[in-house]
Amino acid sequence: MAPYSLLVTRLQKALGVRQYHVASVLCQRAKVAMSHFETNEYIRYDLLEKNINTVRKRLNRPLTLSEKIVYGHLDDPANQEIERGKTYLRLRPARVAMQDATAQMAMLQFISSGLPKVAVPSTIHYDHLIEAQVGGEKDLRRAKDINQEVYNFLATAGAKYGVGFWRPGSGIIHQIILENYAYPGVLLIGTDSHTPNGGGLGGICTGVGGADAVDVMAGIPWELKCPKVIGVKLTGSLSGWSSPKDVILKVAGILTVKGGTGAIVEYHGPGVDSISCTGMATICNMGAEIGATTSVFPYNHRMKKYLSKTGRADIASLAEEFKDHLVPDPGCQYDQLIEINLNELKPHINGPFTPDLAHPVAEVGTVAEKEGWPLDIRVGLIGSCTNSSYEDMGRSAAVAKQALAHGLKCKSQFTITPGSEQIRATIEWDGYAQILRDVGGVVLANACGFCIGQWDRKDIKKGEKNTIVTSYNRNFTGRNDANPETHAFVTSPEIVTALAIAGTLKFNPETDFLTGKDGKKFKLEAPDADELPRSDFDPGQDTYQHPPPKDSSGQRVDVSPTSQRLQLLEPFDKWDGKDLEDLQILIKVKGQCTTDHISAAGPWLKFRGHLDNISNNLLIGAINIENGKANSVHNAVTQEFGPVPDTARYYKKHGIRWVVIGDENYGEGSSREHAALEPRHLGGRAIITKSFARIHETNLKKQGLLPLTFADPSDYNKIHPVDKLTIQGLKDFAPGKPLKCIIKHPNGTQETILLNHTFNETQIEWFRAGSALNRMKELQQ
């Protein structure tokens, strides 16, 4: 990365030109590479154009931008059945990205496939397994030492199978993708739910489970239910304390955590041009919290500017030529339309415990007093994949600089997480990092850290009620620090900085005054900062490992049979051809059940490559409706209450198959497929809920489980934890055909209800084979 940037700079100076990518100078843009790192893989706007024209002629109507990009990557555009919200599309993504925590299981599955190389450009990003303790360099060294076995596995697996590897310290996956791999019109999948961050550069970038990634890396079309399209029309322009983060905080308050399920959110309108490229990425990133398949912005001059500044002016020039295909058609229709006037948008702060509980910053203090939420802010945290851009750091530094000018520092603890090595190096060079340190901040490693629970927190005891304010995307119970009494709020980095200086939720920087060291009152002015550095980005250290260009069949990938961190996978058992009789209910979940509840992160991240060990966290955060407790369920055989994983293991050992009953939007949050692998590993056969989050539903199908929904949501109330269930109709399992469920009560009475599903023919084959991976192997034979 660093040598490339130096070459660009030297060529530009030698030739007396600016803003031209080296490929343009050397190759006159005969072909444009997808990235600096895959110079033989080219952007195929010509194929995108051809496919779009084929589909537009068939549908005979204007297309949204989302449709253009999605349908432009169809495996068979001439014959694919297309109906929004109904049919399943077979798509050909251009690339795959995996973060280290999910890459372990994805690569273990790819190894099981027996294939020699990945079929599309793919990368692994080491960003999750770095715990934040004292500061960047020390935390990074400690993480490398503790996780050496996993580090070596990912590096050698990448080398053997042709996958690029971004080493520890590179930065957060989504910032790296934005800086290097995303481009207008790309279809990219990533094994992290915040992959939609790339929509800020006009791509359809979607979070998936590892099994989906394995399919694409194996050259198999990716299946996606044809998304609906929610339009968000932006008018006016952002100004003052209002930021791009406030757009998505407002949208989350409107749509809630499930309002975007099954849909792509497409932003458009004149207000778009007032938002920077990285600001658009922020909005798309947090679209994951409303359940959206992804979010996207139309190509514009802001994206062109960002591409040029990140050494990709040739891509920007090519995008200009094909611009008509990178914006929506005039007159296109949306399934739902939301309008937001940016002139009227006020700074927002959402939470606690859910990212859709929206409050204007001016009102949150009063609401907190009424609800009994702690007003004192213990920690303010900026960064994460959502808000760690150069502009974010600059706006926060602008606020901090004002406080320092009046002799003030943060009353709350304050931490800063740069998004990438490039961002870290540049804010060090430009002085932003030092300003943030001077105001009391600690600059952490370029990694996910606190946002995903990698926080070795010492300032409070577990169970102590407290408030933190972050610029992150999620604030589920216990997510950041494993303390269920931590009230976490999400907002923009500049508001976090202002609140950390004031130390209280009752502070509104738009109207309230602070008292300087000299005793004089002053008001913070709205921050202003450059969206991109005035000179070039400093690339920092070169942290990328290229896959070897030649034969790598001799490369060893070692997984010790005694390892506690890694475990080779064994195939799941095939369906026995019979209905599922007398399923025991492991747990009936009450209320919200995210993937954090199903498979916790934090200290459990170290077991992400070892299925049996990580299964010891199965559903330990879910609330049992029977007793209102977490990780306490009734064993139907022993008649004792015990931990959920222990009870599941007992049932598995004694040949008792079981089922989970869930509530609304079951499995929202992360893309982690461990939340599907664990119940399958411990003997689960079905998950029955009122509704599912998209990624989790697909993950369950991939692992041979049955994600089913109540035809009548009120039937949730008919099932009790002591009942047994029989699922009938599997011999005639077919798309669109409901299954029958017999509820057997302990008193001998029975009730029959209907269960819906969204399986298509291919997915039914996964179930019959025992998993999607099993089915892949069958087809290879």
So which residues are the catalytic ones?
127-128, 192, 474, 670, 672
In this structure, are residues 35 and 198 in contact, taking their beta carbons and an 8 Å threshold?
Answer: no
Gap between the Cα atoms of 401 and 643, Å rounded: 50
H and E: helices and strands count for the chain? 25, 32
Looking at the DSSP assignment, which residues form a beta bridge with residue 488?
468
User: What is the chain's length?
Assistant: 781
Antiparallel, parallel or unpaired: β 358-360 and 294-296: unpaired
In this structure, are residues 293 and 694 in contact, taking their beta carbons and an 8 Å threshold?
Answer: yes
Gap between the Cα atoms of 537 and 278, Å rounded: 14
Kindly compute the dihedral angle of the four CA atoms of residues 548, 549, 551, 553, in this order, to the nearest 10 degrees: 30
Gap between the Cα atoms of 549 and 198, Å rounded: 27
Angle in degrees, CA 754, 756, 759, rounded to 5: 145
Amino acid sitting at position 377: I
User: Residue 731 carries which DSSP code?
Assistant: G
Q: Give, in order, the Cα–Cα distances in Å from 440 to each of 124, 376, 379, 391.
A: 34, 17, 11, 20
Which among 296, 297, 318, 298 is positioned nearest to 307, based on CA atoms?
318
Q: Which residues contact 263 (CB under 8 A, 6 or more apart)?
A: 227, 228, 229, 230, 292, 293, 335, 336
Which tokens go with 14?
A: 């030698």
Looking at the DSSP assignment, which residues form a beta bridge with residue 599?
618
Which tokens go with 156?
A: 């050698």
Residue found under tokens 């959402």:
350
Angle in degrees, CA 654, 628, 481, rounded to 5: 95
Residue 22 three-state SS: helix
Amino acid sitting at position 432: Y
Gap between the Cα atoms of 240 and 235, Å rounded: 16
Q: Which residues contact 641 (CB under 8 A, 6 or more apart)?
A: 627, 632, 633, 634, 635
In this structure, are residues 737 and 176 in contact, taking their beta carbons and an 8 Å threshold?
Answer: no
In this structure, are residues 380 and 414 in contact, taking their beta carbons and an 8 Å threshold?
Answer: yes
Antiparallel, parallel or unpaired: β 95-99 and 122-125: parallel
State the CB neighbour count (10 A cutoff) for residue 339: 11
Gap between the Cα atoms of 557 and 553, Å rounded: 10
